Amino acid sequence: MTTPSPQKPPASMRVPWYKSLFFRVVLLCAVLLLCLFGSVIVITHHFFQEAARQMEAQAADIAHNLEIRFEEGFDQDYGALEVELMDVYQGVDITLDDGTQDMQAASFTIERLADGGFARVARVPLMNAAQPVLMTVTMTIFPQTEILRAFRNRYMMALTSVFLLALGLMVYFIGKALRPLVRLSESCAAISGGELNMVNTRGVSGEIRALEHTFNDMVASLREKELMETKLRQAQRLSALGNLAAGIAHDVRNPLNAIKLLSSHAADMLEDASHPAAKSMDAIRAEVDRLDDIVSNFLSLARETELRCEPHELDPLLRECARLFQKDAEARGIRLTCDLRAPGLVLLLDSRQWMRAVLNVILNALEACPKGGRVRIFSRVADSACAIEIRDDGPGLAPEVAERVFEPYFTTRPGGTGLGLSITRGIVEEHGGVIEITSSPGLGCQALITLPLDKARP
């Protein structure tokens, strides 16, 4: 047994690499690392440059003061002069040495100390009465102090602001990228609870958009599966009814026929039609006919009937259905009108079964409509289907009732069998159509029958 290899997504669903979420996250991380690296470089560079400038400026200032003292003629001990200068220039160590003739120019060096600090040393050659003097200025600093000073600089503040702004933008874009995933997670939870709603992640692209399409395809498949399961349950129910009907048809119809026949003979034996027993015989025959009609409806619902489809023009069939109920509608005080807008449309229909389905819907509309109300029959042609709509001005149905109107034996009318709409849906679906009932309490009902135009005669 071989394991099927995973299928690649269709080309239309593949996301270009430059639009992928992975690429965007990597790009954002790279930008962040570059910002951090750049900040370290700039801070370090500024740290040494600023220290070097301070050292050079301070050493130049000390050297200038010494040159002035030497020009005035200094012949005292250099130790006292060192103490005097260190009192003036706080934080530096100044030494003066004789006999240095090799050094021609000032030098500036940095030396690392054992305690983790740095010593910046400036060596400047001077002349005192034609005697060479080496001035050594040593400044000891610690990196932490210099970095804090560097961050107080306006350039460092600007750099820090840019870095924080880049960090904030990164957090925003990552949050924006993850927000659709949160919606998808919530939709998954809703689907697990039975709510098969489409997902809209609102203008995203890349993998999230592809995931949204895949997710919505899954929801559509689940809806289709749920519809197929509903139809399967209906088919199983009808199959069970068919098996039951086959058993009871013989057991019930034969006694009914015998009762009907015997009641007819008994009525014929009565010489006087006004005899009290004659009315009883008529009542017996009427009830037997009603029972026979119930059994016929039951058999019609349970078994599949072979359609005998022939070309028929749609509007005349609907007009004939309206004519058959016109007198009944007038007796009920209801206006029955037609607005037929599919002239010349010929469909392949079993006229007897089709009229039976439409008559069932019209009868339900008349029985639901109050006196003075109106029942309207419409027909129209769309792009790929024709629609038949029957509306009434009745009280309408509650949502929980509207969901069950096609179930066998479900009825809200006293004395009803609950088979009419079930039979109607079976006939419509056998013709390849769909029937839907929509209603709102107090706004009447609308029965919409849709037939594909491929049923039309070529």
Residue 76 resides in a domain: yes
pTM here is: 0.45
**CA count, 13 A, side-chain hemisphere, 64:** 6
Cα dihedral value 157, 163, 169, 173, nearest 10: -170
Q: Clarify whether residues 101 and 140 are in a common domain.
A: yes
| CA 95 – CA 85 distance, rounded (Å) | 10
The domain total for the chain is 3
Residue 222 resides in a domain: no
Look at residues 126, 145, 161 and tell me which one is the last residue of a structural domain: 161
Q: Clarify whether residues 346 and 292 are in a common domain.
A: no
| CA 286 – CA 260 distance, rounded (Å) | 9
What's at 382, amino acid-wise?
A
Q: Clarify whether residues 282 and 317 are in a common domain.
A: no
Q: Clarify whether residues 252 and 152 are in a common domain.
A: no
Beta strands 335-340; 374-381: pairing state = parallel
- Per-residue pLDDT reduced to its tens digit, 51-108: 667 777 888 888 888 888 888 777 778 888 888 888 888 778 888 887 655 667 778 7
Look at residues 283, 302, 321 and tell me which one is the last residue of a structural domain: 302
Residue 36 resides in a domain: yes
Q: Clarify whether residues 35 and 137 are in a common domain.
A: yes
Partners of 128 in the β-ladder: 131
What confidence tier does 7 reach under pLDDT thresholds 50, 70, 90?
Answer: very low
H or E stretch covering 415: none
How high is the pLDDT of residue 458? Answer: 45
Give Cα separations from 334 to 314, 325, 394, 413 (angstroms): 24, 11, 11, 19
- Per-residue pLDDT reduced to its tens digit, 167-184: 778 777 777 777 777 777
Q: Clarify whether residues 63 and 99 are in a common domain.
A: yes
Residue 443 resides in a domain: yes
φ/ψ of 346, rounded to 5, equals -110, 125
What's at 212, amino acid-wise?
E
Q: Clarify whether residues 374 and 358 are in a common domain.
A: yes
Q: What is the mean pLDDT of residues 214-218?
A: 79
Looking at residue 17, what DSSP letter applies?
A: G
Q: Clarify whether residues 285 and 318 are in a common domain.
A: no
Looking at residue 456, what DSSP letter applies?
A: B
Higher pLDDT, 150 or 427: 427
Residue 181 resides in a domain: no
Q: Which of 109-123, 139-153, 162-176, 334-348 has the lowest mean pLDDT?
A: 139-153
Q: Clarify whether residues 368 and 317 are in a common domain.
A: yes
Give Cα separations from 415 to 211, 241, 409, 410, 411 (angstroms): 53, 21, 11, 11, 9
Looking up residue 441, the CATH number of its domain turns out to be 3.30.565.10
Q: Clarify whether residues 292 and 320 are in a common domain.
A: no
In this structure, are residues 421 and 409 in contact, taking their beta carbons and an 8 Å threshold? no
Residue 183 resides in a domain: no
> Helices 143-151 and 154-192, interaxial angle, to 10°?
80
Residue 78 resides in a domain: yes
Look at residues 135, 161, 187 and tell me which one is the last residue of a structural domain: 161
Q: What is the mean pLDDT of residues 293-317?
A: 74
Q: Clarify whether residues 120 and 42 are in a common domain.
A: yes
Domain that holds residue 41: 21-161
What confidence tier does 457 reach under pLDDT thresholds 50, 70, 90?
Answer: very low
Q: Clarify whether residues 270 and 398 are in a common domain.
A: no
| CA 263 – CA 259 distance, rounded (Å) | 6
Residue 191 resides in a domain: no
Q: Which spans in 303-350 are helix H?
A: 314-324, 326-332
